[in-house]
C-alpha cells in the first residue's frame, strides 16, 4: 500500500513500509489540498490525513485516491501511532475493497 502522509502525520512511516510525505515531493509549498489530491491520484497513493477537506474532495471526485481520515482531534505522536497500529488491518484492507474512505474515530 502506498501511503501519502499529510504534514502532521510524519510518524506513519513506522507503520506502513512505502510512504511519501508532502515535504518529499516536488509539490509547491504551501501545498493546496487539490494538489495533494491530484498527486496522490496520479501516483497511486492513499492519503492519510486529519484534514476533513479530503472528505469533500472524495465526495466530489470519487476515488482514486482513497482517503484514510483520522477523526481523533488533536493528539500527540504516540497516541496517533497507537491508533494507527490498532487500525492497521482495516487500513490494509481498504486497498482490497471497492470503497474509497476509511474513517478512524
In this structure, of 10-14, 20-24, 64-68, the range with the lowest mean pLDDT score is 10-14
Quick one: cell of 96? 482490497
- Give tens-digit pLDDT for 64-85: 999 999 898 888 878 887 888 8
Which residues constitute the domain of residue 34?
3-104
Quick one: cell of 59? 465526495
Confidence of residue 92 (pLDDT cuts 50, 70, 90): confident
pLDDT of residue 58: 96
**Considering its fold, how many domains does the chain have in total?**
1
User: Does 61 have pLDDT greater than 90?
Assistant: yes
Decide if 12 contacts 50 (C-beta within 8 A).
Answer: no
pTM, two decimal places: 0.86
Other C-beta atoms lying within 10 Å of the C-beta of residue 93:
12
Amino acid at each position: 500500500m502506498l501511503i501519502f502522509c499529510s504534514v502532521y502525520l510524519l510518524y506513519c512511516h513506522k507503520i506502513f513500509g512505502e510512504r511519501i510525505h508532502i515535504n518529499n515531493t516536488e509539490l509547491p509549498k504551501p501545498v493546496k489540498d487539490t494538489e495533494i489530491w491530484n498527486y496522490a491520484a496520479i501516483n497511486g497513493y492513499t492519503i492519510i490525513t486529519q484534514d476533513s477537506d479530503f472528505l469533500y474532495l472524495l465526495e466530489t471526485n470519487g476515488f482514486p485516491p482513497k482517503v484514510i481520515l483520522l477523526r481523533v482531534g488533536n493528539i500527540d505522536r504516540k497516541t496517533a501511532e497507537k491508533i494507527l497500529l490498532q487500525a492497521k488491518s482495516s487500513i490494509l484492507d481498504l486497498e482490497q475493497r471497492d470503497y474509497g474512505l476509511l474513517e478512524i474515530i
